[in-house]
A and B are shown apart, each in its own frame.
Chain A
């Protein structure tokens, strides 16, 4: 079955420290991979996405993610977090190759708190 796993429910890091949020997927083929961020009570904002090519992708707000096929992982990183990064982060996959696009399968999310 297709699934996305985010093993960390809640992470707290100090402001200025580095961050890595983990994401593993189970899929028949390499899907399209996404990271979204959600502030409380808000919709989802796309941080970055991976379809093919360079396995290190850059996104908005200084985030980057690395696709590792051998580990079926797509971990999100940021070298130095800011207090405004506190939010819920969702890893997601979409089945490739459909012009109409398939549904998004989301992980359960990781809540990021920032320690002053």
Chain B
């Protein structure tokens, strides 16, 4: 399987709820990163996983958490949603052969 797949593509949640976003990356891509992109902004680094362990985190509160699984899939969980969490969430995996990050199409989260 090639490429990075994210699900769902769109999601509407209510403030205070919890959400789980999913990402499936290519076999062998054992580094996955998550980014938040607010409207009109560049992507901001949330955190990164390497071989199922978090090995880097951006300036995001602990209610943003993640998991990476042995099958190269990963999750981004956000608790206690706030209106400002509305954004496009991007997943990217690192190809250590081709030396580059491949991005998924993203999940558009709207918090109302």
Contacts and interface: CB of A to CB of B under 8 A. Distances in A.
Interface of A: 32, 34, 36, 41-46, 49, 51, 90, 94, 99-109
B50 A100 contact: yes
Contacts of A46: 100-102
Contacts, number: 62
Contact of B42 (A41, A49, A94, A106): A106
A43 B104 CA distance: 6
A46 B104 CA distance: 11
Interface residues of B, number: 31
Given A43-B104, A43-B106, A103 B58 contact: yes
Contacts of A49: 99-100
Top 3 nearest A-B pairs (CB, nearest first) are A101-B94, A100-B50, A106-B42
